[in-house]
Chain A
Amino acid sequence: MARAHLVLANGTVFEGESFGAGGTSIGEVVFNTGMTGYQEILTDPSYAGQLVTLTYPLIGNYGVTEADFESRRVQAAGLIIKELCDVPSNWRSEGTLASFLERANIIGIHGIDTRKLTREIRSAGVMMGAISTDGDIEALKNRIASVRYETIDFVSQVSTGKPFVWNADGDVKYRIALLDCGVKFNILRSLAKLGAETTVWPARTSADAILATTPDGVFLSPGPGDPDLLGDIKANVRRLAESKPTMGICLGNQLIGCAFGGRTYKLPFGHRGSNHPVKDLTTGRVVITSQNHGYALAPEFTSPDIEVWQVNLNDGTVEGLRHKSLPVFSIQYHPEASPGPTDSKGYFGQFLRMIDQNK
């Protein structure tokens, strides 16, 4: 442990102690309000390039368990917390959070007034920042100023290099092609549980190459970064969605929206947490959802075939789209949970039923 600083692009400096790796990590400073789930958050590819603040102050209490990881590595650029637990207690714990981050070579900072930080982000919006053990604040400020989150194509960093198959040996009733912009394991596990074998494709695989394998359905994964950098993928998505039953989550929702003539915009401080209420405009029912996104879809689409069927109760933003005639739907939140409530896991089944109906 060493003295460390969190420096924000607006000049605010917080002092704390480092854990995990040393050095400097630059990223977009965001906050998540979930009270559990730090392992799932750290390993979620959608946090690539971000320094994640956890608003719950006591972190690391239940240690680290590999079975709870959502990808093969830590994806967040750094972790910002109030108190680090160095003696975890849980029957599944395999080690401490600090040693896990150290092995992953990711920097964390604790002893931070995370509530003060959250209030700052809430009013000023998310911004770039750095966690560093270097101590040279002025140099850090200059380095932060030279990096912009919006210009980095994080999808190509987190997407799989070559295709792989999940659940090939299971009792397979469906064959799904998943476009990997940053998939979480629990999406693959959820599909596998319902009898699907999923081929995970690199994000920039052409629609033709995927369709040539004649999948039963197409799944569009979540993922990090500004959707405006993914113009080539959007064109593929339109082709895929018009050919096969398609479901999208998070970035997948935005890709479908953009593919049908929508556009995304950046939210002031995003939606990150396990308590977001979403209303289904068809049934009137509200579910509590797990969310992690910094961009939202504007509710207008040049294609008349797309409609908004779910909205966020807090700020009215788009939470779900569907195609009026094709078997295509998407949601902005995470039915796979991990972390967060599992109230909407039924959408995986709905996707597979949609495939049955269109066979």
Chain B
Amino acid sequence: MVIGSGPIIIGQAAEFDYAGTQACQSLREEGISVVLVNSNPATIMTDPETADRVYIEPLNVEFVEQIIAIEKPDGLLPTLGGQTGLNLATELATHGVLDRHNVRLLGTPLKAIQRAEDRERFRKLMRKIGEPVPESWIIEKEGELKDLLREPNLPWPLIVRPAYTLGGTGGGVANTPEELIEIGSGGLKLSPRHQVMVERFLGGWKEVEYEVMRDAADTCITICNMENFDPMGIHTGDSIVVAPSQTLSDKEYQMLRTASLKIIRALGIEGGCNVQLSLNPHSFEYQVIEVNPRVSRSSALASKATGYPIARVAAKIAIGLRLDEIANAVTKKTLACFEPALDYCVVKIPRWPFDKFGLADRRVTSQMKATGEVMALGRTFEEALLKAMRSLEIGIHGLRPKNADQRTEMEIEQGLETATDERLFLICEAFYRGMSVDEAAQLTNVDRWFLTKLSRLVALDAKLRGLRSAMKPAATPEALAAIRTAKTIGFGDRHLSELLQIPEPEIRALVKSLGIKASYKMVDTCAAEFEAQTPYFYSVFDDDETEVAA
């Protein structure tokens, strides 16, 4: 039995349909008959072809027990249906339903899931294996705030998070004892449970994730690492993410990879898991933020980014197969037991629904607000980023925000300091108006590597804008050269059309006459080391070879 993820909510959308569908196919490949339960009929997984038996019923203990009684499944796979599937499986186990009907829980043992999900147990385990977690304290009385201040070596600055308030209202960053008392007591008043958590604030630190797999024989591999463009403080689901990491040296990459493997081993996970870490941009210091002991939103992204079918492999691990017994479905010659090598760059940008919710608070914080995301691949960061930006379908075809000319300097600076859905575009606008990379880095804490790339894109954008007069009656050699550069970097025709004020079909014809055309490269999990069989391609404009599926 496979449990789906139910209705679509923020943070739990089509990713889990993708994972669940893959898992059903993967299990049936092994000759296993699959019973699927999901309350959401608008999914691929509930298509009659996906599973042997499909139940569209409420996802609660009462209904699922009845289905179990009818179908008598041998096992239950709970880690592919997001938090909903996992919670329901946990309930079924604690209510004795699984024992009553002799159903085995497949994949990661329940104990391991609880170790990862219970904050205190997780922190205890991390301390035991020597992995750093940010210090934190639960405060329930004002007096306890004063006690806290007596602790030696408090790791300033501290962040105050009131418990059970929506969107983190009443919280904030305290740099001094006075601020801690002020924000802390305010938070206590606002919290319905009169509780705040005080935690070390990792502001400006890099946020890095690793997707990890482990089988029952304790073989562990990492599928992909990802680096957030946005530093700590913004939910990964609301962050622009690149894969693989771009600003980490091999020592940093391996340090965090080793920590991730140590954590998945200590937890005893069998299947996939996502480890979130935070890295100090000025030292080797890092902190473990959290672990998702299941297929997650990030693993769907990692799957698409690398071509490695995480859910498919996780399902096979759950029925006892080992990583070296599972074929790599992409190369068909090698095994699932390897780490994908990327020879391209992946950029994910969240898609927020503020166009539909005009009055909503557009700030992006630690609580996820995005309802979708776009992902693009390119041979360079610029190419992937530009593809992703124009795929957002928010009515912007270039780099600058809507109503760019009407934005005040103050508005832009504020938009850089406090992130909203528009920050990426506002950073570009700031560069457009002459802000330096250093200033932008100071305001945003975004790594200079990303900012330098953006500032250069803006410079090219401005250059093209300045070439409008060089396009008539016929494009000058200088204009043609700039168009060639822009196309190979990844500018879209519509973007060029707006910059040069030439109709899009004319731009297209001009580009064609310059001999610039897209070629297609394959996502093959192995950076071309082995021949691959998958029909998964991305377009590039500055290479000339088109690959065909072998």
Contacts and interface: CB of A to CB of B under 8 A. Distances in A.
Interface stretch (B144-152, B171-179, B231-239, B244-252): B244-252
Interface string B525-550: 01111110000000000011101000
A277 B222 CA distance: 12
Interface in A64-80: 65, 68
A211 interface: no
A135 interface: no
A173 interface: no
Contacts, number: 152
Which 5 pairs from chain A and chain B are nearest by CB? A37-B250, A89-B449, A55-B527, A275-B339, A33-B341
B123 interface: no
A56 interface: yes
B529 A118 contact: yes
A275 B250 contact: no
Interface string B518-530: 0001000011111
A57 B281 contact: no
A216 interface: no
Contacts of A33: 341, 343, 526-527, 529
B122 interface: no
A62 B543 contact: no
B305 interface: no
Interface of A: 31, 33-37, 39-40, 55-58, 61-62, 65, 68, 82-83, 85, 87-92, 113-116, 118-119, 122, 269, 273-277, 279, 284-288, 313-314, 337-343
A341 B528 contact: no
A57 B338 contact: no
B476 interface: no
B286 to A, nearest CB: 13
Given A36-B248, A58-B246, A288 B338 contact: yes
Interface size class of B (residues with CB under 8 A): 35 or more
Given A88-B449, A313-B335, A286 B343 contact: no
Secondary structure of the B contact surface, majority rule = loop
A35 B246 CA distance: 9
11 contacts: A36-B248, A68-B249, A82-B380, A115-B527, A116-B544, A273-B527, A274-B341, A286-B217, A313-B334, A341-B258, A342-B254
Contacts of B258: 341-343
Nearest to A67: B251
A279 B250 CA distance: 24
Nearest to B450: A89
Contacts of A91: 281-283
B527 A56 contact: yes
B263 interface: no
A313 B338 contact: yes
Contacts of A37: 250
A276 B246 CA distance: 22
Given A89-B448, A273-B529, A313-B334, A58 B217 contact: no
Contacts of B529: 31, 33, 55, 118, 122, 269, 273
Nearest to B451: A89
With a 10 A CB-CB cut-off, give which of B244, B248, B253, B447 has the most chain A CB atoms: B253
A39 B253 CA distance: 14
B249 A35 contact: no
Contacts of B335: 277, 313-314
Nearest to A287: B219
Nearest to A276: B338
A215 B136 CA distance: 51
B324 interface: yes
Contact of B543 (A65, A115, A118, A313): A115
Contacts of B338: 275-277, 288, 313-314
B106 interface: no
Nearest to A286: B219
Given A33-B341, A35-B341, A274-B339, A285 B218 contact: yes
Contacts of B530: 122, 314
B221 interface: yes
B337 A40 contact: no
B283 to A, nearest CB: 7
B297 interface: no
A55 B529 CA distance: 9
Contacts of A87: 448-449, 452
Given A56-B341, A343-B258, 9 more contacts: A33-B341, A36-B249, A37-B250, A88-B449, A91-B281, A113-B544, A115-B545, A119-B528, A314-B338
Nearest to A83: B380
A34 B452 CA distance: 24
Contacts of B261: 343
B381 A118 contact: no
Given A57-B380, A113-B544, A285-B219, A36 B253 contact: yes
Contacts of A61: 246-247, 449
B379 interface: yes
Name, among A68, A277, A285, the residue most crowded by chain B CB atoms within 10 Å (CB to CB). Answer: A277
A178 to B, nearest CB: 23
